[in-house]
Structure 1
Amino acid sequence: MGTVKKSDLRHAVSPSARPNTKNSSSGIKGAVAPVSALRLNSRSIGSVEQTKRSKPKNQGGDEEFISNYAQKDTSTDQRTSLVNLWVISLILKVLLFVGYHSTDFDVHRNWLAITNKLPLRLWYTESTSQWTLDYPPFFAYFEWFLSHFVPRAVAQDGCLDIVEKGTYGFSTVVFQRVTVITSEIVLFVALQSYIDSFTGVTDRCRALVVALSLVLSPGLLIVDHIHFQYNGMIYGILVFVVSTARRKQYLRCGFWFSVLLCFKHIYLYLAPAVFIFLLRAYTLNLHYDTKRSFYHNAVRMVRWKNLFKLGLVVLAVFTVAFAPFVYHGQLANLAARLFPFSRGLTHAYWAPNVWAVYSFVDRFLIQVCKRVPLARGALRTLFHFDPALLDNAALVNSTTRGIVGDIEFLILPTITPRVSFLLTLFYQVMALIPLFIQPTYERFLGALTLCGYASFLFGWHVHEKAILVVIFPASFLVLRDIRLLDCFSVLASCGYVSLFPLIYTCDEWLIKVVYTLLWYIIYYFSFRKVANVSLASKLEGAGYLLVERVGALFILGHIVIVLVVSLVQLLDVKFEVLKRLGFLKLMVVSIYCGVGIISSWNRFNWLYFLDESIWEDVADKSLLSESSLNHTSTTT
């Protein structure tokens, strides 16, 4: 057998070699024939997306799906555009104009009137209506901006009247619904920016799946386009925070998060994760130079220039937001509106969190004490409660009367704001430790999600709508590992079903149930198709399968819960006993969804703290994969 010269080998692999020319077709045609399929790699396909390599037949189904998707006649850029989806989604949203809207509609109508009719210094003191302005300044400026586009006919309809209870017609409804749809463009632009931050076909297609799950979110449909709020626009700003963090554009990340806080202060829940991420990744340098003195290393530990730039950006945003109110001496009134600590532990409808389960246990123990005399002594010894309080009907019904206010627990210890704050802080700090040690984008998303979890589960007076603060950042993680996807499936199903009681009218029942079911089916199969099946998930074997099966059964249980609760709601018109137990159906949904969200939080914590492979930097994993592949090829 002849020896192959290095010059011949160099010529064969040279970029200038043209396999399709006449001179080389006979010799290289056979060698090029197997190279027929486009091989996709999550990091290496960028400018070389059209390079063709051979693909083993046993390669994962997700790669085959994405490869076929990318090889369509339409270009990938067009395929990953959200413009068409936004246009199509308008149809459903416009049809909802004639449907139900909550009192939040009159809240925002009143805010339009306040910001339009009154000077800025009175915005946070006006109290003609109970729906006082209690959002940060940027949202007040946003309402002021919208009020200047109110047509004369809409203004005459009562849209801009400062009254105790608003009276308005359909023209006002149309105008405000249109403002929600228009403002939601921010979310589409932000998600398109997130998709465009990826260069490889595989990554872009996976990012598209995530983006579609968010823009089509049942949570946004229920809360924004039926119930009525402006969450789409605000979550769009959160997506900008995530997208800029991924690009390592730290100043822009700090800017967008500052803007986010000035729009809605509920995102203070996520502030610790953003602060630690920017501090560790942008302003601190923990590399210790042994050749330098301790003093020199201590000074250089802080990147002073970066700290100054980041501080300047954040300070500029908050100055624009709050300076006018400081000038008019309204900062104290503004703070009192933003943080009304006089409200109770739970909302009128229990958010599905730890305190919902805690309240349920207290109600259950009260009934045990009343009906099982032998248990009363044991419970009294254990919890040291006053048995005389069990005869006080007002206290017994304090957590189930559906009124916002102080909650009294009769058996279990009463929860104070201090206890709620300390529990939230503890679990957030625990999540921040790995982020400080490893300030990667992946860890940032994990810490962001866990901070949202902790605030939702242990926070004071949490609304059920706050579950979206957990779902949105978690959505960007689910494709990294199939186990995260299983955890997220329980979170999303429980979170979205827990929003159903917001829309209690029969006309919208079919919309919220069918839309959520269709979303979940599409999401389930799409995400399963492209999610990464890690080696660790395969090694878990029976344990992983058991968790997956239990989670699937729990998710299917929502169908039973929704049908039973809906049936009770229909029958309470005919049966007086069911009407007196009106809070029962809300409690069933809250407790069932609360148990699911708590279990998903436990599973997420397990993966966050004990499985390092999920949180490795994508670039490092790609290099490791390529190195292993090259080693295997060389050995072969």
Structure 2
Amino acid sequence: MAKPRKSRNPASDLPAPARLPWQPPAQPVATALLISLAALLVRVLVSVGPYSGQGAAPKFGDYEAQRHWMELTLHLPTSDWYRNTSDNDLAYWGLDYPPLSAYQSLLHARLINASLPDTVALRSSRGFESPESKLLMRWTVLSSDLMVFFPAALWFVWAYMKDGVGGGGEKREGWMWLLAMVLINPCLVLIDHGHFQYNCISLGLTLGAIAGVLSRNELAAAALFSLAINHKQMSMYFAPAFFGHLLGKCLKRKYPILEVTKLGFVVFGTFALVWWPYLRSYQATMQVISRLAPFERGIYEDYVANFWCSTSVLIKWKRLFAIKPLKLMSLCATIFAFLPSFVQQVKSPSNLGFLYSLLNSSFSFYLFSYQVHEKSILLPLLPASLLALHEPHLYGWFTYYALFSMYPLICRDQLLLQYIAVLGLFFLIYYSPGASYVKGINVSSGTKAVLSLPLLCSILFHIVYLQIEPPKRYPFLFDALIMFICFSQFVILTLYTNYKQWMLDLHPRPVGRRKKDL
């Protein structure tokens, strides 16, 4: 008698962590709340310190830029936000972020104007600084963080652990450590709540989009990532990863053209909604776009640890090439750098590969794109934090050098105490007793020596930068040396992560399919 054939269940082919639902430990809400409160307390303590350009007339710093944008959006019509007028001198902190960032400035301006109108008074408030205005401005960042980045981080950790991206066993129990790594990111805390910016909004929207991808809510992910781009154009650093991964998933479904069309409608609809006031004419649209791409500033400004600035010691890019060929060279180099990661995700989309692709894509833009700032390191640092459970050593190493690359900026802002405290707290949590997955790396003694040399140099330069005056002939010598050290590590890290992403093809983890796709 023939044996009956067993019915084939596609889910049985998936790895155990992806097949079984994730069951969090007891009282996960209370634990997540405690971690969130601790992360909030760290932000509050950092915000007590100085901010960018405090008392430094005539242009001050990023704090004044954000305040000035609130002033402009509150008192001027939308048609004048990006246009040079008698009330809007673009040479004085002209608005250079997309419309969603301007709407955010308007919302905060209305809240501040209700209690302290002198802070955002038109023309008369330039350089306005008072303890009350500082408190209100700081609370706008804290509230933005709480309403955008914190919920996105919680959603990501839930989706990550439920999907089983991090693997099984002890890694699946490390959700608390992962949440702490994402929320207590020393670079983001110091830049947003010390230096003073709103990266938590664009990064939070991106993080929400990533969580949407992991939880198979692709349409929500497309909308959230479109909003992230419309808040800060640097979010485009992640665009190749999102496009490659979603395209790869669509191509593997029953009706690929329909799937791509739905995503396209969401993206174009979101952009149209945000840009609606500027779609009335071609001139109005181009006025905004011209402000978002400041090519006249040159391929780099300050000492940033990317390719163009690091190699400028040997090749004087600004002297040898005009802006147009530099733009083309930068574009080609950036595409060439992220193309392998993009192709891998189109070919073999997976959630873990998607996280690697986000890191590799953003690293490519940081290293090779036009007009990169030192604070742009926050973008590749976000996906690195999301890979903390899978690549704990990479995240710890990268976090240290990312923070070190901003050390001159931190010193200018007089945030050295906050720098030491937040970095120390980060590594206390990173090497906490419960983090058993952070173990020693099994490498040869020669490799350890090579890795230890830049680490020792970086520790030395922390002291040298503060205690020793550079030669008068080379006033920025120490800034350049810090840049070289960090650039060397970033190149090593991006080569490693590209290699790890392509190695996933040798041990593929299938993307979970929805019922209608089976």
Q: Same fold (TM over 0.5)?
A: yes
Task: Return 5+ residue gaps in structure 2 as ranges.
Answer: 1-15, 53-60, 514-518
SS in 2 for 1:179: helix
Letter in 1 for 2:121: L
Q: 2:463 aligns with which of 551, 560, 563?
A: 563
Q: Is the 8 A contact 1:497 1:558 kept in 2?
A: yes
Q: Is 1:112–2:22 an aligned residue pair?
A: no
Distance of 1:111 and 1:554 partners within structure 2: 40
Equivalence for 1:390: none
Other-structure match for 1:170: 131
Distance 1:306 1:527, change over 3 A: farther
**Contact 2:144/2:200 (8 A) holds in 1:** yes
Measured after TM superposition, the shift of residue 547 of structure 1 is 3.9
Match of 1:77 among 28, 52, 57: 28
Distance 2:448 2:214 in 1: 30
TM-score by length of 2: 0.83
1:513 deviates by 2.3
1:440 equivalent to 2:333? Answer no
Which residue of structure 1 lines up, in the alignment, with residue 285 of structure 2? 331
1:250, 1:79 → 2: CA distance? 29
Q: Distance in 1 between matches of 2:277 and 2:476?
A: 44
**Selected match of 1:473 from 383, 387, 395:** 383
CA-to-aligned-CA distance 1:349-396 (integer Å, 9 cap, x gap) = 22111223212334xxxxxxxxxxxxxxxxxxxxxxxxxxxxxxxxxx
Identify the residue that residue 502 of structure 2 maps to in structure 1: 609
> Paired residue for 1:183, among 139, 144, 148?
144
Question: C-alpha displacement at 1:120, in angstroms?
Answer: 0.8
Structure 1 residues 340 and 497, CA gap change in structure 2 (3 angstroms): same
The equivalent of 1:319 in structure 2 is 272
Structure 1 stretch 88-97 or stretch 303-312: which is displaced more? 88-97
Q: In 2, Cα distance between the equivalents of 1:48 and 1:149?
A: 41
**Residue equivalent to 1:150:** 112
Contact kept, 8 Å, 2:156 with 2:207, in 1: the verdict is yes
The Cα of 1:89 is off from its aligned counterpart by 3.9
Q: Among residues 205, 227, 230, which one is paired with 1:262 in the alignment?
A: 230
2:259 corresponds to 1:306: yes
Output the amino acid matched with 1:500.
Y
Once the two structures are TM-superposed, the CA of residue 195 in structure 1 deviates from its matched residue by: 2.4
CA distance in 2, matches of 1:43, 1:594: 37
Letter in 2 for 1:235: L
Paired residues of 2:228 and 2:235 also in contact (CA < 8 A): yes
Between the aligned partners of 2:367 and 2:197, the Cα distance in structure 1 is 22
Range 190-199 or range 93-102, more displaced: 93-102
* C-alpha distance after superposition, 1:574-626 (max 9, x if no partner): xxx74664311211211111111111112222322346456634989xxxxxx
Matches within 5 A, 1:332-351: 332-347=286-301, 349-351=302-304
Q: 2:331 corresponds to which residue?
A: 421
Preserved contact between residue 212 and residue 220 of structure 2 (Cα < 8 Å): yes
Distance 1:587 1:142, change over 3 A: same
Contact 2:46 2:190 in 1 (8 A): no
Alignment-mate amino acid for residue 346 of structure 2:
F
Alpha-carbon separation, structure 1, partners of 2:202 and 2:319: 35
Q: Does the CA-based 8 Å contact 2:51-2:413 persist in structure 1? A: no
Larger deviation: 147-156 or 577-586?
A: 577-586
Residues 175-206 of structure 1: CA deviation (Å, up to 9, x unaligned): 11100000001111111112233348956642
Asked whether the equivalents of residues 109 and 120 of structure 2 are also in contact (C-alpha less than 8 Å), the reply is no
Q: Tell me the alpha carbon deviations over residues 194-237 of structure 1, each in whole angstroms, 9 at most, x when there is no partner.
A: 22333489566423322211211111122111110011222111
Correspondent of 1:231 among 179, 187, 199: 199
Find the aligned partners of 1:469 and 1:47 in 2 and give their Cα distance. Answer: 29
Query: Post-superposition shift, 1:313?
Result: 1.3
Identity over aligned pairs, percent: 24
Aligned to 1:130: 92
**Which residue of the other structure, out of 485, 489, 514, is the alignment partner of 1:592?**
485
Amino acid at match of 1:173: K
Residue pairs, 1:462-611, within 5 angstroms = 462-480=372-390, 484-505=391-412, 508-524=415-431, 529-530=436-437, 542=443, 546-547=446-447, 550-568=450-468, 572=469, 578=471, 581-610=474-503
> 1:359 aligns to what?
312
The residue matched to 1:135 in structure 2 has which SS? Answer: coil
TM-aligned CA distance change 1:308 to 1:554, over 3 Å = same
Query: Are the aligned partners of 2:35 and 2:179 in contact in 1 as well (CA < 8 Å)?
Result: no
Asked if the contact 2:237–2:361 (Cα under 8 Å) also holds between the matched residues in 1, the reply is yes
Which residues of structure 1 form unaligned runs of 5+? 1-40, 50-69, 287-299, 363-398, 400-405, 621-636
For the 8 Å contact 1:350–1:356, the answer to whether it is kept is yes
Deviation at 1:311, TM superposition (A): 1.9
Paired residues, what number? Answer: 476
User: How far does the alpha carbon of each residue in 1:504-523 deviate from its partner, in whole angstroms, 9 at most, with x for none?
Assistant: 25853122123213313432
Q: Distance in 2 between matches of 1:558 and 1:527?
A: 28
Let me know the Cα RMSD of the aligned residues: 3.0
Q: Could you say if the C-alpha distance between residues 448 and 346 of structure 1 is closer, same or farther in structure 2, counting changes exceeding 3 Å?
A: same
How many angstroms apart in 1 are the aligned matches of 2:506 and 2:426?
A: 30
Alpha carbons of structure 1 residues 430 and 191: separation in structure 2 relative to 1, 3 Å: same
Where does residue 99 of structure 1 map in the other structure?
49
2:318 corresponds to: 407
Instruction: Write the distance in 2 (CA, Å) between the matches of 1:93 and 1:160.
Output: 28
612 and 341 in structure 1: CA distance in 2 versus 1, 3 angstrom threshold: same
In the alignment, is the contact (CA less than 8 A) between 1:100 and 1:226 conserved in 2? yes
The letter for the 1-side match of 2:49 is: G
Structure with more relative contact order (C-alpha pairs < 8 Å, separation 6 or more): 2
Deviation at 1:143, TM superposition (A): 1.0
- Residue 341 of structure 1 deviates from its aligned partner by 1.3
